Chains A and B, each alone.
Chain A
């Protein structure tokens, strides 16, 4: 949730404006043509005055035609300028929103894991859609009105002064009065609207929560409780909204009051001036029109300010993404080659947040080609440990070497292509199976893909699908089972041809028999590759060369299965719990693939 502080808006405004990029030209054009359009609009009442004074009042039809023609010409010009300005404003503001989305997405691509952890998916999506649309609408309004009103104001004042200086003085006073009034009101509503929008976020969060947790609400029969809670939040929103809007609404009567005041005094003094012969009736009508324009423009200006205030929360959210600095960057002279798959942790400490001490004193040496199991309770640091190897996160203290070189000296892409991780929360993307597999290696031939699938025991179920390798995977892989998804993810990771492969609990949804088959295939086919396997099940790691037992962020023990059984209490405990009570019923759906008879 973003709370916009009052003083920040101006800064935010400029930060957003700077993103206009190549659409600057359109923005400038929009401003220039709006200015021209305004000039025409201001001149047109002058022409009407001429029609009345020189034409109609003077009884000269010829003049009516001349000035009428002039006015039509001006109207045509005003129309042309208006259309160009409108189109340019549209191009500029939609271009700005294109740039904002583009820059945000580009920046997100540079995020390190620690950056990604800071933003939620829903949050990022809102920023890239709703918030950008808000900015787009606000910028369009601003481009068209923020230029129009001050110009309109200035031109109208000039025209009035040209017509009659003394009369203009009357409403210069009025303008000052109104300006102050509008200023005060706007300033007040600005703060109120920011409050409104913050409360808005709270209300929406509460709805979101209720929709996703509806089962909990209903199971605990908390509908009334939720209604009350929500009722309170919207009531507060209502009060804030009413306060903001009633304050804003004061602008209209205030403006009318001043406008009518001007009209009345203009009627009175205008009459006197005309009688004295210092003013014509045509000029009087023109002045009425200009006063209207002046006051209108002041009101519009106040609207723009409120509009900017309203979109400032959106701006803040966008800027937050744009200014997020990636926590990790490529070294200046990156090492582009990896010797082998040996891994050395040398006194490594790691914390997600300063001082949280998620991993402490890790000192491990793994030879190239070894198979290593990692086991331990939830939160013991298994995933954190392997996350360091492909530099998903940087160590806080100590050093981590892969192939004898500190990971921070490698080119990040090269490192990640050679240290292939199958993440715990893995996803497939919409596209065919082959498309998904080729994420591992764009240039992989179909045969290479098949081979990887064979290793990951994925070929059997793929072959049974109607379109085989061309089967479309739906978003997030929702049309394959959990076990199938995991096997596809393993195959995808294998296609990188890595020197180190890491499976982070990646066979949890695969049945025990298939799990075993995969591990066997790994052992026989991937001899030179260092294999690190995190698992909850002892059965998944007992065949490994050595097993790391993690406990509360430290390595409790690192030894073979047999030795651990003899000497390590934690390992023995896990082993006993799991063997005594048998295995899991995890995803026996895989049976339908024929992997278990």
Chain B
């Protein structure tokens, strides 16, 4: 806790220094947001503005009518012996018409604004998501998932409030303020100057209070993050806490952090809550001042101000207070929201995956003379088609890595001079310790990451020339961490190939040895998986992932620890299906269990990003090198 406080101070200094550029940034972000909102809704947005103006003017007319009512109608009427209410009736009818128009305007703009606001947010949601889907894996590996998620849950939501509430309110407040101030000038100049002065005072205090509370809100956000982190760590380890009877101590620590959050939240909101009464009462004082000074002026006969004028003026004075308060508050919330908007635009500005390939994957029919013809049917034969000249190259699954260097960051190379030659139909295995670079190699074949140096050739074609989507379609991958989607088991298997029939999915599940456990589930294949397949064991999830890859029926397979959580006995059973799946397909296998890699055509032993040994099981055993050592494990010691 003490540590946090210390690091707090310099941070605040930076914040102060950055205040100027921060403002510029906010303004730019706001401009972008506004542009985003208006584009596509230009006509409707203009309509909204016009309607807001119309509605505000109607309200203003109503206010000013007070003076007319008193001065031009009521006062003369009281003096008449036989009062004629005819002219008054007419004036009131006109007022009614204007009011009617005002209501209509208000109805139209609030309705249209919903469509604009929600429509922009819908577009923003879609754009953000679709853009996110194009981003390279690197983005997801280098940004905390919670942070990305928060763009959707917090930032877009705050922006929704700005778009649907703050902006219309600011427009309508400013129209009211401007038109009211103009009418005030028309009524009396000195009093207007006085009122304006009070408005400035009001705005100044609001802004001051606003920026002070924002500072505490930043603290609140930080303390919230602190509580968040603690709760996350502790709930993750809740079972360990129970086993060690550590509940009391935890609670103590939690209380400390919770109290800190409470205190900063309290301060932040106290200031925010004070804003409204302060505004209102500055308004009240402004009213009294105007009444007193106006009274002196009117009664003393210094100006030609009538009592009706003064009363109207006072009403206007009252009416202007509220929109000024609203406006300064809304400006405050916009400033707060801009931090979120900035994050959204930052995500939208991330560079998508580069894809300059022009070679496509197509199904072909192989004729008797050996020539190929492109077809739409699934023929189990594929070819690479060069878009430029239409030339077809048969997909055999010949994958070669030549002198490949790679690092996730420029500073640290994790793979050095990697050479891999996978001939069609071969099973290539990678073994080695955690962090040796096994998974990295597979990440390069499917171009989750791009190599820094060297070459990867797929049937003689540089993988960079192949369209990414087609490259990945040709590679069936079962990943180390199994991820499933919220849907039925059937749909999860079908994820491998969207047009697969139920029978094909079930057949795949049978092959992966998943059929038996799926049948035991209450709803069988229709069981809905939730929370990343949380209701299944890790091993069961892996079996479904294998079935998913089988349904995809790809020419080349990559299995990254695909059976790591399946126990040895079940694995033996799955292995049969896996072997069938891998037969006649080039496959890359990463595994720590020897049973999984033993029958490979070539086993690569990786250490610190280099291939230090290669060969089949017998050859490697004979070499008595690293593989032999790993294999014999403890026995080597004796």
A567 is an interface residue with CB less than 8 A from chain B: no
**Interface 0/1 of B70-101, CB less than 8 Å to A:** 10011001100001010011001001100110
Number of interface residues of B (CB under 8 A): 159
A596 is an interface residue with CB less than 8 A from chain B: yes
B356 is an interface residue with CB less than 8 A from chain A: no
A220, B552: Cβ atoms under 8 Å? yes
Instruction: List B contacts of A584 (CB < 8 A).
Output: 592-594, 633
CB-CB under 8 A for A220 and B495, given A93-B269, A227-B130: yes
Max chain B Cβ within 10 angstroms of own Cβ: one of A37, A204, A221: A221
A390 is an interface residue with CB less than 8 A from chain B: yes
Instruction: List A contacts of B435 (CB < 8 A).
Output: 589
B236, A121: Cβ atoms under 8 Å? yes
B34 is an interface residue with CB less than 8 A from chain A: no
A17 is an interface residue with CB less than 8 A from chain B: no
B332 is an interface residue with CB less than 8 A from chain A: no
Select one of A57, A83, A234, A246 contacting B114, CB under 8 A. A246
B242 is an interface residue with CB less than 8 A from chain A: yes
Select one of A52, A241, A570 contacting B311, CB under 8 A. A52
B595 is an interface residue with CB less than 8 A from chain A: yes
Which one of B194-202, B366-374, B479-487, B579-587 is at the A interface? B479-487
**Interface 0/1 of B550-567, CB less than 8 Å to A:** 001000000000000111
Instruction: List B contacts of A65 (CB < 8 A).
Output: 292
> In whole angstroms, how far apart are the Cα atoms of A125 and B229 in the complex?
9
**Interface 0/1 of A206-217, CB less than 8 Å to B:** 111111111111
B119 is an interface residue with CB less than 8 A from chain A: yes
B99, A596: Cβ atoms under 8 Å? no
A335 is an interface residue with CB less than 8 A from chain B: no
Which one of A248-256, A458-466, A553-561 is at the B interface? A248-256
B474, chain A: closest CB distance, angstroms: 10
Nearest A residue (CB) for B135: A214
B109, chain A: closest CB distance, angstroms: 9
In chain A, positions 90-111 with a C-beta closer than 8 Å to chain B are: 90-91, 93-95, 97-98, 101-102, 105-106, 108-111
In chain A, positions 194-227 with a C-beta closer than 8 Å to chain B are: 203-223, 225-227
A56, B311: Cβ atoms under 8 Å? yes
B633, A513: Cβ atoms under 8 Å? yes
Nearest B residue (CB) for A77: B281
A68, B92: Cβ atoms under 8 Å? no
> In whole angstroms, how far apart are the Cα atoms of A270 and B598 in the complex?
100
B634, A511: Cβ atoms under 8 Å? yes
A475 is an interface residue with CB less than 8 A from chain B: yes
B103, A253: Cβ atoms under 8 Å? yes
In chain B, positions 592-638 with a C-beta closer than 8 Å to chain A are: 592-595, 598, 629-637
B386, chain A: closest CB distance, angstroms: 20
Nearest B residue (CB) for A57: B307
> In whole angstroms, how far apart are the Cα atoms of A230 and B65 in the complex?
53
Nearest A residue (CB) for B91: A267
B433 is an interface residue with CB less than 8 A from chain A: yes
Nearest B residue (CB) for A144: B273
B284, A121: Cβ atoms under 8 Å? no
> In whole angstroms, how far apart are the Cα atoms of A86 and B95 in the complex?
39
> In whole angstroms, how far apart are the Cα atoms of A329 and B175 in the complex?
65
A185 is an interface residue with CB less than 8 A from chain B: no
B193 is an interface residue with CB less than 8 A from chain A: no
**Interface 0/1 of B282-300, CB less than 8 Å to A:** 0011011001101110111
> In whole angstroms, how far apart are the Cα atoms of A75 and B496 in the complex?
70
B295, A64: Cβ atoms under 8 Å? yes
> In whole angstroms, how far apart are the Cα atoms of A584 and B126 in the complex?
46
Max chain B Cβ within 10 angstroms of own Cβ: one of A125, A377, A511, A574: A125
**Interface 0/1 of A224-236, CB less than 8 Å to B:** 0111001100110
B432, A585: Cβ atoms under 8 Å? yes
B247, A231: Cβ atoms under 8 Å? no
> In whole angstroms, how far apart are the Cα atoms of A172 and B565 in the complex?
73
Select one of A106, A214, A238, A591 contacting B137, CB under 8 A. A214
Select one of A116, A271, A277, A420 contacting B239, CB under 8 A. A116
A467, chain B: closest CB distance, angstroms: 16
B493, chain A: closest CB distance, angstroms: 12
A115, chain B: closest CB distance, angstroms: 9
> In whole angstroms, how far apart are the Cα atoms of A3 and B570 in the complex?
39
Task: Say whether chain A's binding surface is mostly helix, strand, loop, or mixed.
Answer: helix
B364, chain A: closest CB distance, angstroms: 19
> In whole angstroms, how far apart are the Cα atoms of A114 and B297 in the complex?
80
B598, A581: Cβ atoms under 8 Å? yes
A15, chain B: closest CB distance, angstroms: 20
B251 is an interface residue with CB less than 8 A from chain A: yes
In chain B, positions 218-270 with a C-beta closer than 8 Å to chain A are: 224, 227-229, 231-251, 254-255, 258-259, 261-262, 265-267, 269-270
A477, chain B: closest CB distance, angstroms: 10
**Interface 0/1 of A427-454, CB less than 8 Å to B:** 1011000000001101000000000000
B296, A86: Cβ atoms under 8 Å? no
Select one of B65, B70, B311, B537 contacting A379, CB under 8 A. B537
Max chain A Cβ within 10 angstroms of own Cβ: one of B434, B486, B548: B434
A48, B565: Cβ atoms under 8 Å? no
B41 is an interface residue with CB less than 8 A from chain A: no
> In whole angstroms, how far apart are the Cα atoms of A77 and B134 in the complex?
59
Select one of A75, A94, A492, A587 contacting B285, CB under 8 A. A75
B343 is an interface residue with CB less than 8 A from chain A: no
B182 is an interface residue with CB less than 8 A from chain A: no
A128 is an interface residue with CB less than 8 A from chain B: yes
B251, A212: Cβ atoms under 8 Å? no
Which one of B25-33, B148-156, B454-462 is at the A interface? B148-156
Select one of A121, A133, A249 contacting B110, CB under 8 A. A249
CB-CB under 8 A for A577 and B595, given A108-B238, A390-B243: yes
> In whole angstroms, how far apart are the Cα atoms of A206 and B532 in the complex?
10
A101, B258: Cβ atoms under 8 Å? yes
CB-CB under 8 A for A213 and B232, given A48-B291, A377-B570, A585-B630: no
Select one of A136, A207, A378, A596 contacting B570, CB under 8 A. A378
CB-CB under 8 A for A245 and B149, given A574-B569, A583-B633: no
B206, chain A: closest CB distance, angstroms: 14
CB-CB under 8 A for A120 and B637, given A52-B311, A98-B258: no
A547 is an interface residue with CB less than 8 A from chain B: no
Max chain A Cβ within 10 angstroms of own Cβ: one of B89, B236, B248: B236
A174, chain B: closest CB distance, angstroms: 14
A264, B233: Cβ atoms under 8 Å? no
B227, A101: Cβ atoms under 8 Å? yes
A361 is an interface residue with CB less than 8 A from chain B: no
B251, A588: Cβ atoms under 8 Å? no
A72, B288: Cβ atoms under 8 Å? yes
Instruction: List B contacts of A206 (CB < 8 A).
Output: 486
Instruction: List B contacts of A413 (CB < 8 A).
Output: 245
Nearest A residue (CB) for B484: A213
CB-CB under 8 A for A109 and B241, given A378-B539, A378-B570: yes
> In whole angstroms, how far apart are the Cα atoms of A108 and B246 in the complex?
12
> In whole angstroms, how far apart are the Cα atoms of A476 and B240 in the complex?
12
Instruction: List B contacts of A271 (CB < 8 A).
Output: 69, 73-74, 77, 85, 88
A479 is an interface residue with CB less than 8 A from chain B: no
> In whole angstroms, how far apart are the Cα atoms of A582 and B598 in the complex?
9
B95, A573: Cβ atoms under 8 Å? no
Instruction: List B contacts of A587 (CB < 8 A).
Output: 433-434, 592
**Interface 0/1 of B268-281, CB less than 8 Å to A:** 01101110111011
> In whole angstroms, how far apart are the Cα atoms of A154 and B191 in the complex?
34
A596, B244: Cβ atoms under 8 Å? no
List 9 extra interface pairs beyond A68-B292, A577-B569, CB under 8 A.
A71-B284, A82-B280, A89-B269, A111-B238, A226-B133, A246-B114, A256-B102, A284-B70, A390-B243
Instruction: Sample 8 A-B pairs with CB under 8 A, ordered by A number.
Output: A71-B284, A91-B270, A113-B242, A116-B238, A221-B472, A253-B106, A260-B96, A584-B594
List of 10 A-B pairs having minimum Cβ-Cβ separation, nearest first: A82-B277, A86-B273, A213-B483, A512-B633, A512-B634, A90-B269, A581-B595, A75-B284, A109-B247, A513-B634
